[in-house]
Structure 1
């Protein structure tokens, strides 16, 4: 099939400043943030609610993994397609559908009486969340003139930081004092307010040059993203060299090649490859992946550190992470101001170096770290991550033509999801390897006694050590308190070694990524530059 490309010209900045959506841009920001707050709250409270959910529904560990993975897969697979739907049918319409669907599916989760229903509704929640997020970014792109976009992204980051800060505390209070269902019911009033404000305030804009969905592209992209994320999720369990891992990895490579080929031929491609001819969009996408790799991958272990090693409650663990989330409320607007004055190159590079400092400090945390000792790196991390998230989002969405703002938002969100999943899987493997190397040495003579009583006991303990705990069933079989204390100390020390190694790798990733940030430019296209969109 021959390629039939349409070419549009992005209007100059002065023209676009007059050609925004027509509504109040700051009220639009508030309306879209209310919708995204539901997603942020759900993400932060899920980890707190999961143990109680599993116990009440008599779910296995595998069941609860599917509760999380089903949501992640649906979100990652559908994000780019959802962004394209907004470009064609209108971002306001897609955003409102996402808000309504997310709220309704949250209520359905709370009403679930079985693990199967819980998984099904979590998948639906992921699909509606995918509709919501790229549309929100595209609505901001159309509501704000380009010279004000970085300020909008700074305010966006502050509001998201506020919801992230409130999530663990609110979730802990609700789970401990009401029920796990209440953490999902809370999305209903938030969704209703977001719907009402969205209908009244948001002014829509859709592309006049795009008219249809590239359905073959949707199918191939969905298969490609599923293969990638599924490989990342399952590789730590299967093994990176296992046949199943290699098969899904090969499927991703083949589908990626097929997708690129088809996008070069399609009349209205799902992801116009010309977007990536802009170096800033390409580099911004890699930056988003790398910073999500370092952040989400390393932060994944801190919940286990606080609850497993420290023995804190979910609410207390949430309070330990408060300095980072609260810090982003202040850091995000400051990052936007810095990007406006200094540009994205220096601001993002400095932010990544600050992130590296925070990760290094976390690699030095002691087993009995106080609130201040753990809070300082968290606070520093907020001022390191904010310039990167604000800058990378502005670069990806701001460098894209208005007609492709939804697709660009989908790319940005997909990069974050894939980067976070990669970080969790790869750093998890690094941590598991460190624990395997260290645990037997810390156990000393106890290891031989464990193996004599139950062959494979040390290997089983290694898996539990990745969570910073001793399995309750093992603890019950050890009558001698002294031996049990040796095992517990060994698990905690091995866990700390693994966590320190993971944070060290994240430090290196942040430093390398800081150099990459020097190659981007701000989200402003050259006046009159042609953009091929289909």
Structure 2
């Protein structure tokens, strides 16, 4: 087994590249799971009778727990051993996947997804935090690139493999596939990874963790329930007020803490703040889009689950191409120009997609999906690099944790808010005249449910109405995504620091770093 005595003095054992394989397996599991559920939701909605709100919770229970626990999970690894807690995270993720594959009720699927979120919160930050102990600065950029590629590779594989499983097995197979992958990661971590820790890191603050989880949970619940209950419903209003109070208490507590778990003062760095906002808005749009697209491809266009997964590849292809070429573009044009232009491209793709009709066909969808993928990739990679590149070396860890947490929050809110907009627009446009009251209520839950009701009642007019209503709702979602992207592009163009390799502010910060060897990577990716 590889042994490490000092984190700042890595042992250059030839097996370190095999150890990287353990981290790749861990990240592949997470990347895979980020998208596999999206293509499964229409099938699960039909077989489990899940409403749109329940589908949102199946996606959001994972994202909310992931976001709430990522920072404390990273601190647990610092204090008790990163390899140990990474293995615990993979074990928890495996257990959640096993639970999800065995249950037959929507509520238990939501619980299983939340358990998987706990495991993912441990895996994500710890898989990245062990890299400095394995690789010297000259090799670290290559290692980070391999890790990032593994996570990105899992995203397009998720819909394809998930679709194939759904066409041949029951819906629980999309959870079962995680088990061998997580097990491989566990064994690889046990035999290949060194154990590292940092006992001087801040302690896990249970109160702050509880405030984060309950505040985000109340906010997401209010957004999901509002279209059904009404935005003026007393429960919805109480949840919004409670969420604001809890999150405000979190901010106040962290600002007063000597060693905060969530270092809010990092947001005073203009470059960090604006790049983080850009990255979070991109995740908001991406998560919402990934939620609304599969039902359109499956229910409206009539593809099976595997066909749905394959037809989502144009966006993933655009993402991967942009992720590979974003850094050279930043080196030539600067991050401000690249991020601003990418957000404009993303806005154009969303506006183009909002023109989708029931009769548009897949060719039009593939066109705007490809453009959207390019916009996503060119926006998020420089934004994340720019955010971390503005931080002093001694705050790189807390800064990366805050960035990843806010990205997950953006994704969770994107699913909740855009999913709620879709659900409300769908219900308002759906014509269920002539259906019994019970059947009409079922049809209002989702477009998949409407198709099942129409098939039983032999009501083709309900199918036509449901398709039209869903496409109308999807168009509104894409319109909002386009507006959000355009506003973000204007803000980035006006205020975002041009944090490329020649940026003086960044250079000054790195010059003052107490340990140059541990300074974060520059925005152009060089170490």
Offset from partner CA, 1:216-236 (integer Å, 9 cap, x none) = 322323322222233333333
Paired with 1:82 and 1:97, the residues of 2 have a C-alpha distance of: 11
Name the structure 2 match of 1:527: 511
Name the structure 1 match of 2:269: 278
- Identify the match of residue 469 of structure 2 among 480, 486, 494: 494
- Identify the match of residue 488 of structure 2 among 513, 518, 528: 513
How does the TM-score come out when normalised to structure 1? 0.80
Q: Within 5 Å, give how 1:226-237 maps onto structure 2.
A: 226-237=217-228
Contact 1:20 1:144 in 2 (8 A): no
Q: Which runs of 5+ in 1 are unaligned?
A: 1-17, 441-446, 479-483
SS in 1 for 2:356: coil
Name the structure 2 match of 1:13: none
Q: Within 5 Å, give how 1:379-394 maps onto structure 2.
A: 379-394=370-385
Q: Label 1:52 to 1:350 Cα distance change in 2 as closer, same or farther (>3 A).
A: closer
Deviates more, 1:404-413 or 1:164-173: 404-413
Paired with 1:52 and 1:507, the residues of 2 have a C-alpha distance of: 28
Name the structure 2 match of 1:411: 402
SS in 2 for 1:264: helix
SS in 2 for 1:271: coil
Give 1:240 deviation, angstroms: 2.3
Paired with 1:146 and 1:397, the residues of 2 have a C-alpha distance of: 16
Alpha-carbon RMSD: 3.6
Paired with 1:274 and 1:507, the residues of 2 have a C-alpha distance of: 31
Paired with 2:41 and 2:417, the residues of 1 have a C-alpha distance of: 23
Offset from partner CA, 1:184-237 (integer Å, 9 cap, x none) = 333233223323444555556544642522233223233222222333333333
Higher relative contact order (CA 8 A, sep 6+): 1
Give 1:377 deviation, angstroms: 1.8
Q: Within 5 Å, give how 1:105-184 maps onto structure 2.
A: 105-112=96-103, 118-139=109-130, 155-184=146-175
Contact 2:394 2:514 in 1 (8 A): no
Name the structure 2 match of 1:323: 314
Offset from partner CA, 1:459-483 (integer Å, 9 cap, x none) = 875x35x5376353355445xxxxx
Q: Label 1:116 to 1:240 Cα distance change in 2 as closer, same or farther (>3 A).
A: closer
Q: Label 1:156 to 1:356 Cα distance change in 2 as closer, same or farther (>3 A).
A: farther
Name the structure 1 match of 2:210: 219
Contact 2:318 2:370 in 1 (8 A): yes
Contact 2:160 2:310 in 1 (8 A): yes
Offset from partner CA, 1:4-27 (integer Å, 9 cap, x none) = xxxxxxxxxxxxxx9475568876
Q: Within 5 Å, give how 1:21-170 maps onto structure 2.
A: 30-50=21-41, 61=51, 67-112=58-103, 118-139=109-130, 155-170=146-161
Q: Label 1:291 to 1:473 Cα distance change in 2 as closer, same or farther (>3 A).
A: same
SS in 2 for 1:270: coil
Number of aligned pairs?
A: 497
- Identify the match of residue 470 of structure 1 among 450, 458, 461: 450
Q: Which runs of 5+ in 2 are unaligned?
A: 1-6, 501-505, 516-527
Q: Label 1:211 to 1:438 Cα distance change in 2 as closer, same or farther (>3 A).
A: closer
Q: Label 1:494 to 1:409 Cα distance change in 2 as closer, same or farther (>3 A).
A: same
Give 1:129 deviation, angstroms: 0.9
Q: Label 1:90 to 1:46 Cα distance change in 2 as closer, same or farther (>3 A).
A: same
Give 1:140 deviation, angstroms: 5.0
